[in-house]
Amino acid sequence: MNAHQKIAFSCSPTSKPVGADARADLLKDPGFGRVFTDHMVTIRWTKDRGWHDAQVRAREPISLDPAAAVLHYGQEIFEGLKAYTRADGSIALFRPEQNARRFRASAARLAMPELPESVFLQAVDELVKIDSAWIPGDEGSLYLRPFMFATEAFLGVRPSYEYLFVLIASSVGAYFKGGAKAVTVWLSDRYTRAAEGGTGAVKCGGNYAASLLAQAEAIEHGCDQVVFLDAAEHRWIEELGGMNVFFVFDDGSLTTPPLSGTILPGITRDSIITLARGEGRTVREARYSIEQWRADAASGKLREAFACGTAAVVSAIGRIKSANGDIVIGDGDGGPITAALKAKLVGIQRGDVADAEGWVRKIA
Ligand SMILES: *Cc1c(COP(=O)(O)O)cnc(C)c1O
């Protein structure tokens, strides 16, 4: 199957949709990742037949053989993207072809079959259309979660011969409670997220599984997220558990860690680089050490820091906590360049700012 091929989706709408009143209640304060829509998309892959059996159907539990390979060896990948209602009432996605491409790259790294990008986009369109009533108003959006896992019942260790692709959707509000305020991050000196040659650059559940103990440690210390250092020298800033990171300096320039193979190539990261350079700012993709972070925060050279990703968009980092003491960035409450870049990105997504790069894809 080539990258532009389409497949036929069968559509059997649910016989038990959530009623309009109950849905309106759920959408009032959906939080993040708790409220799910009526439908899902599933597509099967087998070694013999390739991709087949694409369905739009009622969202319901999936039944799996207890020997399904994913339950034992963790062969699973995912993506995350959002559908927004725009100022003009249309529904749009932000750079979804980038998610489709990254999903293929993740599949390749985990020795899984690559879903053609056109089919990924078709699945997204189908689900957003059938569940469009679930897109919250105001700041909210419909968070789309495509994922794929190994279903073959086999305990031998080799890539599975059977997979299920699933797309679900969740109505979401702000990722961090309290919305705009700066987050505090915990510097993990004990755990690392990814090493060279590993899976740090792909979106797989295993990376998250390995980060949860550090995340729990962060929460214990009153922090929102973990910031990870590199695995080799425990010195260079990599990223947060699920977000890339940027540093903003007194001359208006920015630094973000380079895509060295151990960090996730975020689509938000790429978009921020493009927007900042478009404003004439210098953006370095360069290594930045924790010692430098400490020194620059103390001297005032570092004015702002922020994390970015689809779920939370852009979040100011106000403070780092670590076993060696705290670092406060600026006044600990975010800064103007972070706020302006966030406003520009959200503005493009919502249709309030011109989409000069052609990033927005409207749903027909
Ligand atoms: C998904 C993800 C990001 C952010 O990527 P976006 O494409 O901007 O959403 C950053 N880091 C990790 C580890 C991720 O899984």
Please check the confidence at residue 38 and state whether its pLDDT lies above 90. Answer: yes
Are 306 and 314 a contacting pair, CB within 8 Å? yes
Are 116 and 131 a contacting pair, CB within 8 Å? no
Q: What is the three-state SS of 105-145?
A: HHHHHCCCCCCCHHHHHHHHHHHHHHCHHHCCCCCCEEEEE
End residue of a domain, out of 134, 152, 172: 172
Please check the confidence at residue 175 and state whether its pLDDT lies above 80. Answer: no
54-101 pLDDT, tens digit each: 999 999 999 999 999 999 999 999 999 999 998 888 999 999 999 999
Report yes or no on 359 lying in a domain: no
Which residues have a Cβ under 8 Å from the Cβ of 241 and sit 6 or more positions away? Answer: 193, 208, 211, 214, 215, 225, 226, 228
Please check the confidence at residue 190 and state whether its pLDDT lies above 80. Answer: yes
Are 312 and 176 a contacting pair, CB within 8 Å? yes
CA distance 257 to 194: 14
Residue with tokens 């879903």: 115
Q: How confident is the model at residue 255 (pLDDT cuts 50, 70, 90)?
A: very high
Q: How confident is the model at residue 142 (pLDDT cuts 50, 70, 90)?
A: very high
End residue of a domain, out of 151, 172, 193: 172
Q: Which domain holds residue 232?
A: 183-350
Same structural domain for residues 114 and 196? no
pLDDT, averaged across the chain:
95
Report yes or no on 85 lying in a domain: yes
337 φ, ψ (degrees, to nearest 5): -75, -40
Which residues have a Cβ under 8 Å from the Cβ of 279 and sit 6 or more positions away? Answer: none
% pLDDT > 90, the chain: 91
Report yes or no on 111 lying in a domain: yes
- Determine the pLDDT at residue 78: 98
Same structural domain for residues 318 and 195? yes
Report yes or no on 178 lying in a domain: no
pTM here is 0.96
Pocket lining: 312 vs ligand 1, CB cutoff 6 Å: no
Dihedral angle sign, alpha carbons of residues 254, 92, 208, 119: negative
Please check the confidence at residue 46 and state whether its pLDDT lies above 90. Answer: yes
Same structural domain for residues 248 and 151? no
Please check the confidence at residue 177 and state whether its pLDDT lies above 80. Answer: no
Q: Among candidates 149, 139, 4, which has minimal Cα distance to 70?
A: 149
CATH number at residue 290: 3.20.10.10
Please state the atom number of ligand 1 nearest to the C-alpha of residue 79: 1
Same structural domain for residues 284 and 308? yes
Please check the confidence at residue 176 and state whether its pLDDT lies above 70. Answer: no
Please check the confidence at residue 182 and state whether its pLDDT lies above 60. Answer: yes
CATH number at residue 79: 3.30.470.10
Same structural domain for residues 161 and 189? no
CA distance 41 to 303: 45
**Nearest-CA residue for atom 15 of ligand 1:** 242
Report yes or no on 203 lying in a domain: yes
Please state the atom number of ligand 1 nearest to the C-alpha of residue 193: 13
Please state the atom number of ligand 1 nearest to the C-alpha of residue 81: 9
Total of domains in the chain = 2
